[in-house]
Structure 1
Amino acid sequence: MSTSTYIYIFGENDTKIWGLTGRERLQRMLSSHQNIKLVNAVDTIPDTAPVLFLNANFLFDARVISAILGLEKKVVLNSNDDCPAAIRSDGNQAAPLLRNLNSSADHHHKFASLILPRIHLSDLNIDVQKNLKKKDPPYIFPISDSNRSLLENELFSGSYKGVTDLVTKWVWPVPAFWVTQLCVRHGWQPNHVTYASVVFAVLAGFAFWFGWFAIGLLMGWLMTFLDTVDGKLARVTVTSSRWGDILDHGLDIIHPPLWYLAWGVGLSTTATPISGLGILMVLMFIGYVGGRICEGIFHYWLAHFDMFIWEKLDSFNRLITARRNPNLILLTYGWLIDQPALGLLLVVIWHLISTAILGWRLLTGWRTKQTQGTLKSWLEDIDPARDRDLWAVKIFTRAPLHLTKPSAISVN
């Protein structure tokens, strides 16, 4: 049975980043961890128990908290200005450390951490975020009213997947930022946005079925936009639920082929019905399911990371591969030129081409693994700051944000 780590949050800061103070954000972030105990008084901590002090005057990268919780040694994690952001020790030293923090409140640069070794972010083993298909530098940013807007922008940008489709990457960010702010202001939860996206997905399907393509496309694009907003809202407010996650990802997998099927049925109500609809739908499902199977085999059998972050070619392919948003572009094009049947035909063809490419990449990955023994993501070999001149790095990573203004420690 693992020993619980006791967490004591010190520092007070009323500045809210996406509706949360530093203390509130830390509490939400810690709720996803096991074998921890939040305490309000250090005298309740057993002498031999591991303890982690966290400074609520800082905005923490979730990866930093996970990394320092995984350490077994006693350390002080300093920010760029040598202010203590986190201190890992044990219950026996908790009370002296708290007294030290209190005595250093007005001159935090003089914090007496000589009894513990000091480390910085570069000393932590933090690498590629495989779940978000990106590599961003870990961060600890000081929270203040003067940099609130910068931090909100940084946190929102950081909530995006690095490798995704061209609409999500370049069209949605600005309006999604505004709508996310609106949701935070009114207290709307990510699940509320997800429920709305489900409604629009169903409405789009019905509209396509009856041949109301313009209305269906409007509903469809609204659905895809809200699908972006709910994830960003969840990440910037550290709000998530198992049901919301299942609903969101389940909807993403199920609805696209049903939309294309409904579009095909809807063509029978137009002046240009499509012939051979049954064959087209079989080919579409083969392309859709085949692509997902290729991705799944690669992820679980070859590399244990997403196919689209293997090599730069795969990341560029993800921008346009046959997923919902690129396919919606094709359907919208067909409607705009008054040839909705052509739009569906392009979707089917693009599915088959994309799946053929994924199959080729899967075979290439298998051969590479046979000869090299393992596969590695191209993101592991780059530095987002150092390699900024590389086109792929500019597109799929973000430049680090540097904030050096210190925040005062107030231990209450």
Structure 2
Amino acid sequence: MVANLSTPPTVVPVGDNPVPIWGMTNAERLRRMAVARKLPFGEAAGGDVLLANLAFAFDPSWLPHLLGLPGTVMTRAGVPVLAHVAADQAERVRAAMLADRPLAAEGLAVIEAEDENGIFNEALRKRERPFAERLTPASVPAIERASYTGAYKGVTDLLTKYLWPEWALWLTRLCARAGISPNQVTAIGSVLCIIATVAFWYGWFWSGLAIGLVFMVLDTVDGKLARCTITSSALGNAWDHGVDLVHPPFWWWAWATGCVAYGRPLDHDTFVAVIAAMLFGYVAQRLIEGAFIAKFGMHIHVWERFDSRFRLVTARRNPNMVILFAGLLIGRPDWGIVAVAVWTMLSLVVHLVRLGQAMAAKARGRRIVSWLA
């Protein structure tokens, strides 16, 4: 019998598992997944169900994937882990979960979690392999790492990708176990962001860089903590993205001003040119990124391989901080801020050209899709 989609299915936990993950029980983690998707949770009173085997921990992306696939079961080593089924199918699936045995899947479609092809993520327009693993005390570190890695969506800059994933993972685990919320991490980071701005303004560049480094790591932690503990909120998203969007120009302005106190002042014309280039370039790049999303339904950084690679170094906050650090190493913070301005304008040109190329390709009839798909 085909499941009924007229009403949302109830997410039903099957079994019990005392092993904690990200500072919570597997049942609580499942409940948060259901709440995040606005799905009923608990025992079903009839109708369709999403049965979840608590002997396993799985990536949250499995839930919306099976939500759109009634009459489907996802298995690990043949044992059902998550199943979207109608009421008359539920009992035999539940029995297989509780007995920890493979399911005789007559009448059901089967997705094997081990399948190398993975699933297609519509939001990111890319294929990925979400995890589904047996949850035991010994497997918790590996599952948490897989959960954390899965929270890195799309492409990012070189520091976030290569330098501090391990630092951020350790801090994310610490916060989860200590009961520190993502918004509390964002609050701490916001204070550090302001302190770093003041330090740059007064030419205390090394102190500002150290404080800014902690802030940048926490800027990764809050988002990963929210995704791993499934505690994302509209307020948290707005706060985090608001801080990310607003503060970079203030940092660059403060750094240029601080060069005076440091003893390497910019002359008036250079100062004006630097600030104008960075402000214009920053805003224009954001507008281009927005235009690309509006036109093609995806980020410009995931279009072709070049765009993903360029995202590693494009003139965003973290790559710019590497440039400033290099200038400070040779005692020339003024050269550093001038280099940031130049790199900002060059990055703007690259983004403008890529937007034009995508529009021209579409006009020729080419379908614009992500190379990650």
In structure 2, do the counterparts of structure 1 residues 198 and 117 end up closer, same or farther at CA, with 3 Å as the change threshold? closer
Instruction: Give the match for residue 241 of structure 1.
Output: 233
Asked if 1:78 corresponds to 2:75, the answer is: yes
- Could you tell me which runs of 5 or more consecutive residues in structure 2 were left unpaired when the two chains were aligned: none
Instruction: Give the match for residue 275 of structure 2.
Output: 281
Distance 1:356 1:376 in 2: 22
- AA aligned opposite 1:344: I
Distance 1:371 1:128 in 2: 27
307-316 or 83-92: which moved more? 83-92
Correspondent of 1:299 among 293, 300, 311: 293
Asked if 1:4 corresponds to 2:2, the answer is: no
Correspondent of 1:62 among 60, 63, 67: 60
Correspondent of 1:156 among 148, 153, 159: 148
Instruction: Give the match for residue 18 of structure 2.
Output: 14
How far off its partner does 1:135 sit? 4.2
In structure 2, do the counterparts of structure 1 residues 203 and 312 end up closer, same or farther at CA, with 3 Å as the change threshold? same
How far off its partner does 1:296 sit? 1.1
Correspondent of 2:197 among 201, 205, 208: 205
251-260 or 116-125: which moved more? 116-125
Asked if 1:354 corresponds to 2:340, the answer is: no
Report if the CA contact (8 A) 1:191-1:244 is conserved: yes
Instruction: Give the match for residue 37 of structure 1.
Output: 40
Report if the CA contact (8 A) 2:154-2:302 is conserved: no
1:64-112 Cα offsets, whole Å, 9 max, x none, are 211111123x233322x110112322234545654x34xx744523x44
SS in 2 for 1:372: coil
In structure 2, do the counterparts of structure 1 residues 115 and 310 end up closer, same or farther at CA, with 3 Å as the change threshold? closer
Instruction: Give the match for residue 372 of structure 2.
Output: 379
TM-score (norm 2): 0.91
Query: Of the two structures, which has the highest relative contact order with CA contacts closer than 8 Å and spacing of 6 or more?
Result: 1
Distance 1:334 1:271 in 2: 14
Distance 1:82 1:286 in 2: 56
SS in 1 for 2:41: strand
Instruction: Give the match for residue 87 of structure 1.
Output: 83
1:297-352 Cα offsets, whole Å, 9 max, x none, are 11111x21111111110111001000001101111122221111111101100100
1:128-178 Cα offsets, whole Å, 9 max, x none, are 4655x8643133222122222211221122222341111111111111122
In structure 2, do the counterparts of structure 1 residues 186 and 139 end up closer, same or farther at CA, with 3 Å as the change threshold? closer
Distance 1:173 1:349 in 2: 29
SS in 2 for 1:85: strand
Distance 1:246 1:117 in 2: 39
Distance 2:206 2:156 in 1: 26
Report if the CA contact (8 A) 1:365-1:375 is conserved: yes
How far off its partner does 1:125 sit? 8.6
Distance 1:304 1:202 in 2: 34
SS in 1 for 2:369: coil
How far off its partner does 1:260 sit? 0.5
Report if the CA contact (8 A) 1:134-1:163 is conserved: no
Distance 2:333 2:111 in 1: 60
- AA aligned opposite 2:290: G
Report if the CA contact (8 A) 2:120-2:126 is conserved: no
In structure 2, do the counterparts of structure 1 residues 288 and 146 end up closer, same or farther at CA, with 3 Å as the change threshold? same
Instruction: Give the match for residue 262 of structure 1.
Output: 254
Distance 2:100 2:252 in 1: 64
Distance 1:155 1:292 in 2: 29
- AA aligned opposite 2:60: A
Distance 2:117 2:50 in 1: 16
SS in 1 for 2:52: strand
Asked if 1:321 corresponds to 2:311, the answer is: no
SS in 2 for 1:305: coil
Q: What is the 5 A alignment of 1:118-137?
A: 118-121=110-113, 126-128=119-121, 130-131=123-124, 135-137=127-129
SS in 1 for 2:85: strand
- AA aligned opposite 2:143: L
In structure 2, do the counterparts of structure 1 residues 55 and 300 end up closer, same or farther at CA, with 3 Å as the change threshold? same
- Could you tell me which runs of 5 or more consecutive residues in structure 1 were left unpaired when the two chains were aligned: 381-412
Distance 2:248 2:340 in 1: 11
Report if the CA contact (8 A) 1:67-1:125 is conserved: no
How far off its partner does 1:288 sit? 0.8
Q: How many percent of aligned residue pairs carry the same amino acid? A: 36
Instruction: Give the match for residue 51 of structure 1.
Output: 49
Distance 2:100 2:243 in 1: 52
1:201-257 Cα offsets, whole Å, 9 max, x none, are 111111111222222112211111110111111122111111111111111111001
- AA aligned opposite 2:293: H
SS in 2 for 1:52: strand
How far off its partner does 1:2 sit? 4.8
Distance 2:183 2:6 in 1: 33
Distance 1:337 1:134 in 2: 42
- AA aligned opposite 2:354: R
Instruction: Give the match for residue 225 of structure 1.
Output: 217
Distance 1:245 1:257 in 2: 20
Distance 1:123 1:196 in 2: 40
- AA aligned opposite 1:194: T
